Each structure stands twice: as C-alpha cells, then as structure tokens.
Amino acid sequence: MRSIGEYLRLYFMIEAQYIKGRMQYRADFIISSIGMFFSSLATLGIFWVIFESVPDLAGWSLMEMVFIYAFYMIAISPMQILFDHAWQLRFHIQQGTFLKYYFRPLNMMFYYMSEIFDLKGLTQLAVGIVLLVYASLQLNLDWTLIRIALLFITLFSAALVQISIVVIASCASFWVLDSYPVLGLAWKLREFSPYPMTIFDGAFRFAFTFIIPIGFVSFYPSQLFLRPQDVSSLIYFSPVIGIGLFALTYWVWTKGVNSYTGTGS
Amino acid sequence: MRGYLAVMRGSFMVSVVYRFGFLFTILGNIIYLSVAFFLWKSIYRSSDTIRGLTFNETFIYVGLGSAIFILLKTYVDWILNFEIREGAIASYLIKPIDFGLYTLFASFGSLLMNLAAITIPTLIMLIFVFKVEFVLGPGLIIFPLSLFMAFLVSFYIDYFVGLLGFHSESVWGLSTVKEIIVTVFSGALIPLHFFPEALQKVLLWLPFQAIYHTPLMMITRPDQSWNIFLPMLFVQIFWVVILFIATRLFYNQAIKVLRISGG
Amino acid sequence: MSLIHVKDLSKHFKILNRREGLGGAFRDLFSGDFRTVEAVAGISFDIDAGEIVGYIGPNGAGKSTTIKMMTGILKPSGGLIEINGLVPYENRIRQAQIMGVVFGQRTQLWWDLPVIESFKILKEIYKVDQKTFDEHMDMFNELVGLKELYSQQVRTLSLGQRMLCDITASFLHNPQIVFLDEPTIGLDISVKAKMRTIIKELNRTRNTTIILTTHDLGDVEALCNRIIIIDKGKILYDGDIKKVNALFGAYRTLKLQIDQFNETTLQTLNDKLTEKFGTDHGITISENEESWTDVTIDQARTPLSEVLNHLMTNFTVMDVRIVEISMENVVRKVYDGALT
C-alpha cells in the first residue's frame, strides 16, 4: 500500500504537468474563466433583483445572503477543481475508455480524478474569497482565531458534502445508461444550497438536512459566523456528516467499479 | 422532407431509450417546483403584491417556466461542438442533406419526447398539486404557437454558439456565458417584471425575452387580448427570421474555413 | 507451477433485448426482456513464464472477456484464475504492479502531456528507480528511436507513434506479464514490424510472458510459439503454433468480382472447378459483400495460379484480389476438423 504522502507527491507531480500542458490553450483558459466569473455573479444578480423588491429573505439581509453565497462558492470549489472529471465518467464508461483506470497499481478514484485539475474553478474560489472578505467587512464580523479555525473546519466539511453529492450522482453511470439526469439533478440541488433553509417547510428542510444534506454546504455553517447566538447544535456534527458522506461515496464508487463490465466483448 | 422526418423519428426513439432518465428529470422538476414555491412564498411574506404581481401570478410564471424549461433547452451547442471536435461533422457534409435542417429536425424529436414525458406531467402536477389556475382567453390559443417560436429562437441561439466551435476550442466557456445570459435575461429564473425598469426596457430589444417571457406572458397576463398578443408573436417571428439568416451566413462562412483548412 | 492457471473459467452477462420500432421502444420503457449470454463458457489452460501466447478468435468469441478477467477487471461467474498463485480480482493493485496492459487503440498515456512526462509519472507510479528507468529508456530508444518523440504531446502523435509509446510504457516497470490487445490494429507495415521487433526482443531478454489477442494472423505467425483459439466462449484449439501455421500458410483466398453475378453463379463456379480439378479440389466458395465472391484454396492440393487461370478463362472477372486467410476462415477450418 502507498502512504498518503506518496499519493500527495504523485498528485502534485501529475497536476504540475497537467497545468503546464493546459497552459498551451490560453484562450480556452481565459474564456472559461470569464464564463465561470459570470456564472458566479448570476446568482448574486438574482439576489440583487429580489432585494430590489423586498427588504429581507426569511429574516436575512442582502449582505448576510452574500456571505452565505460566498461560503458556498468557496465550499464548492474543491469539487470543481479536484473532482471535475466526475462529469466525464459516463462518457468513459459508455465508450469503454474507463478500462484503463484498472491497470495501474493505484487507488482508482485517485487515478481517475487526478487526470483533470480544473483551472477555471480557481476563478470561483477567488470570487468566493473576495465576496467573503467583502461581506465580513460590511457586516463587521468579529474574526477571532477560534472562528477562523471553525471557518476552515466547516469549509472542509462542506466541501466534502458537495464532492460526495456530485461523485455519488456520477456513479449512477456504472449501472444505468443515461445517468445524466441524475447528475443534472445533483447539480440543480446544489443551486439551492445558498438559500436559507428556514424558508422550507418540514419535509424539505428535513431532506436538505439529513438526506441530501445541501444545508451543510453553506447555510448551517454560515450561521455559525453570522448569528452565533442562535445556531443549532447540529452544525457541530458537520465534520462527521462530511466525512461520513464521503466514506459512503467511496463505498458506492468501489461497488460501481467492481460491477462495471466494460462495453464490447 | 421524408428524410428529415426520419431523422426526427430517429432522435425521438433515441430519447425513448433513456427511460431511466425521465424519472429523474421529473423528480428534479418536482423538487425545483417545490423549492421555487417556498422561495417565492418567503419573498412574498412581507407584502401581497410585488411589482404589481401577486404570489399566484408569479408562481404560475415560474412554475410554467420550469415546465417548458426542459423543452426549450436543445443542447445543440454541446452536441455540435462534440461533433466538430471529434471530426464527425464531415460525415454530414457528404450526405445530401442540409445540415441546419438536419439538426433542427433532430431537436424536434427530443422536443416531442420531452413534451410527452416531462412537460405534460409537470403541467398536471402544477394543476393538481400546486392548484395553479390558468387565465382563460386568447392567450391559451396562441400559446402553443408562441412556444414553438420560442423553441426556434432558443434553437438558433444554441446552434449559433455551437457553430462557434469551428473557430474556438473553448466550448465550455462560450456555452456557459450563453446559458447564463439566456436564463437570466429570458425570464426563466425570475419574471422580467422584477428587473429594474431601465433594464426591462433594454431587455425588450433583445431576442432572449422571446424565449420564456413572451409565451409565459400569454397565459399569465390578466388582460387577455389579441391586440397585445399578436404584436408579441410577430416580435418572436421577427427574431426567428433574423437568427435563421444570421446562422445561415455564419454556417456558410464556417464551412468555407473548414473546407480550406480541413476538419 | 505455472505463472497463469485458469481452470473451468466462465462468465455470463445479462443483456436487455431491445424491441424494434417506435412501439417497441415505448414498451422497453416499462418492461425489460433480459437474456443471458455466456461470453466465456468453461475454459482451462496454463501458461508458463516466458511464453508468448496468441489468444485468437473471431469477434465476440470471448477474448476480451477472458483478458478482463485475467487483469482483474471482471469477476468470473465460475471457475478459477490464479496468477502467481493470487486471484487477480481480489488483488488488483498488487497484480497491476506485475502486469502491463495495452488495450487496442486507447492510449493510457496522459493526453495533454509530452511523452517523456507521461513516462516520468509512470516511473513514480510503479516506483521504478532512476537507473532502471534510464536503462529502459535507452533500450527503447535503440530499438525504436523514441527520442525525437519525447517532447511531443501525446495528442499530437500519429496512431503508430502513440502505439509504440504505449507498448514501451507497458514494459517500463519490467512486468512479469504483458497483455497486448490488438496492438497492431490500423498500423502500417513498417510500424507493425517495429512493434513485433520490440515485443520479441523484450520477451527474449527479460523472459516476459506475453498474451496477445489479435485479428492479424501475421502477428501470430511472427511472435507466438503457442496459440489458443477460442470461439463462442470455448477453446477450440490449444497447442503448438506449427500445426496452425501450416493452415494459414497453405490457404489463400481469391476475391473475385464476377460480371453479371446472380444466384446461380456460385453453383456454376463450383461445377466448373469440380470439372477441372475433381471432387477433392480443396476449394471452398462463398459469397461475400456486394457481388464479391471468396474462393478459398488449399494450395497443398490445388495450385492457386491454375485455379485463377481456369476461372479467368471461364468467367468474365472484373477484379481480383488475393488475401491471406482470415480469422473467421481459420476458425471455420478448425471447426471442420483441420487440426485433428
């Protein structure tokens, strides 16, 4: 078995080369980054339009919504940057090119995901960081050391939740021919995570908290920084939820990999 | 013509094969509708009417929007780009068909499938689960025609972006920018009434409002009259013609480039 | 003990029968009609270290399925595979370290990277030390002259160059077994020759076991000392190449395009040939696509030139091609008892 250190070293080596290779397509990098930038701003535009008409959304102000959204942007970046290859899983499976990932003495999820390092995701991360700083300044948030540590822990957990949702959805292609709608649904759900979970009634809030826990991608952890006085104790379980969900994802992936038969004879 | 109908039938059948997917798309629509319902409910918490629209009117607009969303998404830009990159486009050029028409008819096939499998179930849900009531009037008669025009506008915008693939490898970026512009400025996400007045005026001069806003207005507007609807329909037709001509010219030029430099 | 031990191996798949037409497509939407296909139906063989084995058969015979089971991708439905005493399916990572695989035209190198960078990553993945790595690279450079390709991106290589790189890469970590699946498909003759040179050389110097699946009987003739013929999931022949070689060597197929071809032409052809060469002429005639007729001739019994002459004088032949016997015909001959 390889140690985590060895895998990390290998990962950096592969990505360094990958980025060098991608840099030859500078125009693509620029246009994709612009696309990413616009798509990051679209939701913000929607907030702005909504708040043109109403003073608050379920008791949350525009700037608080910007904070929640910024948290969300940062939390989904690791998925975008490190796990973007999940989107192409169904093509590899349909066309039989997925076979090659079996032939190396490596962890298959590692080997598969390491093949793409999505540069445009860095734009998303940057926009998220800028917005988070801006919103915290506007809201006069008090950043103590403990809070900063909590920020990193909750971001890490939120990132794992988001990665898990997308990777599990992409794994559907191991069993069904047309897995795109599953992935599409997971993607659509992602768009709801920067809204206050309190707008939903019982069943939906339950589902978004415990079944497809998109509440943990942004809203619940953000509360810890925006309104620490009335935060639910649920949020302290977020690392458990993040890690647990990722473990489940890894189990599903392994099942999928083992049940895959390859196309053709 | 018979050839093109065969293409349409073929793409219809290809979409039927994806039986599992429909369930998920419908499920996605249910979730989307519910989330939109709660979201707008909480937006309307502070007042009964916003920008002159009641919650009910807004929700009909948004709900119907989600029902026709899947119809008007052709994915032609992604498909075309894939074919250009893989070099499959050459196999169309040697066939005795018009490429633009071929692509259009292939989209008709999936349009019909989506209509049957997704839009109609979503409509039924809207009526029976969300108790949405439609405004009865001339709008209901003109709506199918307007929807078809909306499809054509959407198709030609996607087709145009798809053809850009002859010139650029940056498919993702171009399609994403297009997608955002279309969804935001067509009224697919938020009714155009909610936009600031000045922006609304600008949007009326762009083709995007012809995609969602126009057909949705036909069935949600309380003041139903032919005098309002016919000009709206003509604006849609105007955009179809303009986009049709523009994509033709662009295609001919792109093919010239292809023929010279090789695919 | 043998390196690879396969005993009563089988694999079956469930396949959805799709119904025809619009109505059928609709009905498939709601109910499935599955049937079981036996891709591999009980095969056994042993392969020793250092052998080059040709594993051949027509399309859909079960070749790839067997290879996938041996490489640990597929779990057998029944029977046993052991490589070095280990079951591949249960020990994928350990097995991968001692195996090299080249799967048809799908490259396993990094598409956007220069060739040499792919090799460096592989060096890390397989933990090859620098000295061994340098020696390997020098050796390959000598054999096939790869050096000029080092700085090129994999995506810019021609198919032949890419396949050479892939083959080279599969031997980099000095594996005990290399699986080559259709390594020469679509390549021109000079690249094919190079490919065969490296494979032979590596087998000779390092005693690497090589399992080759191919449609190209030329590959088999040039490389293998043992051949396993499989069809419909069962082994038809397993043994020395020499016997089979006689089979490929002796047979040639004449492809003819005959003017005014109709239903009776095949019969007339057969009558004419029997008239001239007697009933034991060893010639089989079959119709091929679009008015091409295949005349397969056993040269040990009837000389090809005489057959051709005879046909040219009796029929209006518009076009002629002479080809080596195809895989499908070899299998048909084996069925007919040519090897027993």
Written as tens digits, the pLDDT of chain C (340 aa) is 789 999 999 998 877 666 665 566 556 555 666 778 888 999 999 999 999 999 988 877 888 889 989 988 888 988 999 998 889 888 888 888 999 999 877 788 888 888 998 999 999 889 999 999 999 888 888 877 778 888 888 888 888 888 889 988 999 999 999 999 888 888 888 888 888 888 888 899 889 999 999 888 788 888 888 999 898 889 988 888 877 766 666 677 888 888 777 777 878 888 888 888 877 777 778 777 667 788 888 777 788 888 888 888 888 888 888 777 777 777 777 777 666 5
Give B263's pLDDT tier (boundaries 50, 70, 90).
very low
Which of A71, A48, A45, A73 lies closest to A61, judged by CA? Answer: A48
Say which residues have a Cβ less than 8 Å from residue B232's Cβ, sequence separation at least 6. Answer: B146, B214, B217, B218
Which of A225, A61, A57 lies closest to A136, judged by CA? Answer: A225
Residue B17 in contact with partner chain C when CB distance is under 8 A = yes
**Which residue did the predictor score with more confidence, C239 or B155?**
B155
Which of A68, A90, A171, A185 is the best mutation test for B, with the most CBs of B within 10 A? A185
Contact A260 C73 (CB under 8 A): yes
Is the confidence at residue A54, as pLDDT, over 60?
Answer: yes
**For B86-111, what is each residue's pLDDT tens digit?**
667 777 777 777 888 888 988 888 88
**Which residue did the predictor score with more confidence, C16 or A170?**
A170
Residue B177 in contact with partner chain C when CB distance is under 8 A = no
Residue B189 in contact with partner chain A when CB distance is under 8 A = yes
Q: How far is A33 from chain C (nearest CA, A)?
A: 19
Between the alpha carbon of residue A154 and those of residues A70, A161, A193, A217, the distances in Å are 13, 11, 15, 9
**What integer pLDDT is reported at residue A85 of this predicted model?**
93
Nearest residue, CB atoms, C73 vs list A14, A99, A105: A99
State phi, psi for C207 to the nearest 5 degrees. 60, 35
Paired strand residues for C149: none
**How many contacts (CB atoms, under 8 Å) link A and C?**
78
**Which residue did the predictor score with more confidence, C130 or B187?**
C130
**What integer pLDDT is reported at residue C17 of this predicted model?**
67
**Which residue did the predictor score with more confidence, B164 or A75?**
A75
**Which residue did the predictor score with more confidence, B12 or A187?**
A187
Nearest residue, CB atoms, A21 vs list C13, C113, C124: C113
Residue B196 in contact with partner chain A when CB distance is under 8 A = yes
Q: How far is A28 from chain B (nearest CA, A)?
A: 5
**For A86-100, what is each residue's pLDDT tens digit?**
998 988 888 788 888
Whether the predicted interface score ipTM is above 0.95: no
CA distance C124 to B194: 57
Q: Are A115 and A17 in contact (CB under 8 A)?
A: no
Which of A189, A192, A173, A168 lies closest to A249, judged by CA? Answer: A168
**What integer pLDDT is reported at residue B253 of this predicted model?**
85
Contact A46 B189 (CB under 8 A): yes
CA distance C17 to C15: 6
Between the alpha carbon of residue B51 and those of residues B46, B195, B215, the distances in Å are 13, 9, 20
**What integer pLDDT is reported at residue C193 of this predicted model?**
86
CA distance A166 to A159: 11
**What integer pLDDT is reported at residue C249 of this predicted model?**
64
**How many contacts (CB atoms, under 8 Å) link B and C?**
15
Q: How far is C168 from chain B (nearest CA, A)?
A: 27
Quick one: average pLDDT of A226-243?
87
pTM: 0.82
* Domains of chain C, CATH where assigned: 49-232 (3.40.50.300), 250-335 (3.30.70.260)
Which of C148, C205, C145 lies closest to C171, judged by CA? Answer: C205
Q: Which of A30-34, B258-262, C6-10, C91-95 has the lowest mean pLDDT?
A: B258-262
Contact A18 C112 (CB under 8 A): yes
Contact C22 B9 (CB under 8 A): yes
Q: What is the mean pLDDT of chain A?
A: 89
Nearest residue, CB atoms, B170 vs list A32, A49, A55: A32
DSSP 3-state of C296:
strand
Between the alpha carbon of residue A117 and those of residues A112, A113, A188, the distances in Å are 11, 8, 23
Contact B50 A54 (CB under 8 A): yes
The count of domains in chain B is: 1
Which of B20, B26, B53 is the best mutation test for A, with the most CBs of A within 10 A? B20
**What integer pLDDT is reported at residue C19 of this predicted model?**
62
Q: How far is C93 from chain A (nearest CA, A)?
A: 4
Please tell me which chains touch A, using 3 or more CB pairs under 8 Å as the contact test.
B, C
C-alpha B207 chain-centroid distance: 12
Say which residues have a Cβ less than 8 Å from residue C298's Cβ, sequence separation at least 6. Answer: C250, C251, C282, C283
Domain that holds residue B128: 2-261
Q: Which two tokens stand for residue B72?
A: 């008007």
**What integer pLDDT is reported at residue B183 of this predicted model?**
86
**Which residue did the predictor score with more confidence, B2 or B218?**
B218
CA distance C120 to A18: 13
CA distance B18 to B21: 6
Alpha helical stretches, state H, C145-293: 159-171, 189-206, 217-223, 241-250, 265-277
**What integer pLDDT is reported at residue C145 of this predicted model?**
77
**Which residue did the predictor score with more confidence, B226 or B245?**
B245
Q: How far is C27 from chain B (nearest CA, A)?
A: 10
- Tokens 């032919």 -> residue: B226
Say which residues have a Cβ less than 8 Å from residue C190's Cβ, sequence separation at least 6. Answer: none
CA distance B242 to B232: 16
Please tell me which chains touch B, using 3 or more CB pairs under 8 Å as the contact test.
A, C
C-alpha A167 chain-centroid distance: 10
CA distance C51 to C209: 5
Query: Other C-beta atoms within 10 Å of C196: how many?
Result: 17
- Compute the residue count for chain C: 340
Contact B17 C26 (CB under 8 A): no
**For B190-220, what is each residue's pLDDT tens digit?**
888 888 888 889 988 899 999 999 998 888 8
